[in-house]
Amino acid sequence: AIVLLLPNPAMGEPAAKRARTVGSLGEFNAAGPFETRNFINGDFVKSQSGKTFPTVNPATEEVIAHCEDSNSADVDTAVAAARAAFAAGSPWREMNATGRRDLMLRLADAIEENKEFLSRLEALDNGKPWKNAAYSAQTDLHLVIQCYRYYAGWADKLQGKTIPVDGKMFCYTRHEPVGVVGQIIPWNFPLLMQAWKLGPALATGCTVVMKTSEKTP
């Protein structure tokens, strides 16, 4: 038998947080408007082609919004920005591990503050139930928050090893970020897949260029 243990989204959350339903993103409105531009170098920008494509509600096949139809030129721009952010002497490279930890915890807090909005948006875009007794978009968002907090906790705990070897030598390993990480995620757990990918990459000091699914952009 396979047993699936599902977390209770309310576990560990103070009553004040559970009672709060409106965060900094405001009240959710299925009619929008929604931010659909690319996010590059800290800014929302349109695709260089100027083209867009529709994303639809899988439950009704109605158009939710039109998103940027990006191409190789947009990828090049994103990669260049990610490389610059990773360059020696940049604020990101100079940041202590505890700084990365604190930024990731702030991201988790912001998602938690807007959990109602984001879970409703996830249900609209992905098609899974918003909230029920089994698995739902509410569960997804609970796991997203926990994922970022988990990897935030690792940011200042990554360490190498000293290895005994023959001879008068000192042997050790040192864990370092690899640089710009290219990531592609599918449609079935959009925000959770994003957290699974961004969490370890950011905790270890990498920068990221991510392609989301065109079905759940």
Supply the pLDDT for residue 2.
37
Angle between helices 190-203 and 137-154 (to 10 degrees): 0
Res. 12 pLDDT band, cuts 50 70 90: low
How many CB atoms are closer than 10 A to CB 3? 4
Res. 135 pLDDT band, cuts 50 70 90: confident
Supply the pLDDT for residue 214.
93
Pairing outcome for strands 162-163 and 171-172: antiparallel
Q: 136 pLDDT exceeds 90?
A: no
Supply the pLDDT for residue 1.
35
Supply the pLDDT for residue 9.
44
In percent, the amount of the chain with pLDDT more than 90 equals 82
Q: CB burial class (10 A; 0-12, 13-18, 19+) of residue 69?
A: middle
Query: How do residues 153-164 score in pLDDT, each as one tens digit?
Result: 999 999 999 999
Q: 127 pLDDT exceeds 50?
A: yes
pTM: 0.86
Res. 132 pLDDT band, cuts 50 70 90: confident
Supply the pLDDT for residue 106.
97
Tally DSSP H helices, then E strands, for the chain: 7, 8
Query: How do residues 74-125 score in pLDDT, each as one tens digit?
Result: 999 999 999 999 999 999 999 999 999 999 999 999 999 999 999 999 999 9
Q: 194 pLDDT exceeds 90?
A: yes
- Lowest mean per-residue pLDDT among 18-27, 55-64, 96-105, 169-178: 18-27
Instruction: Give the three-class secondary structure for 45.
Output: strand
CA distances from 64 to 10, 87, 182, 186, 214 (A): 29, 38, 27, 19, 13
Res. 28 pLDDT band, cuts 50 70 90: very high
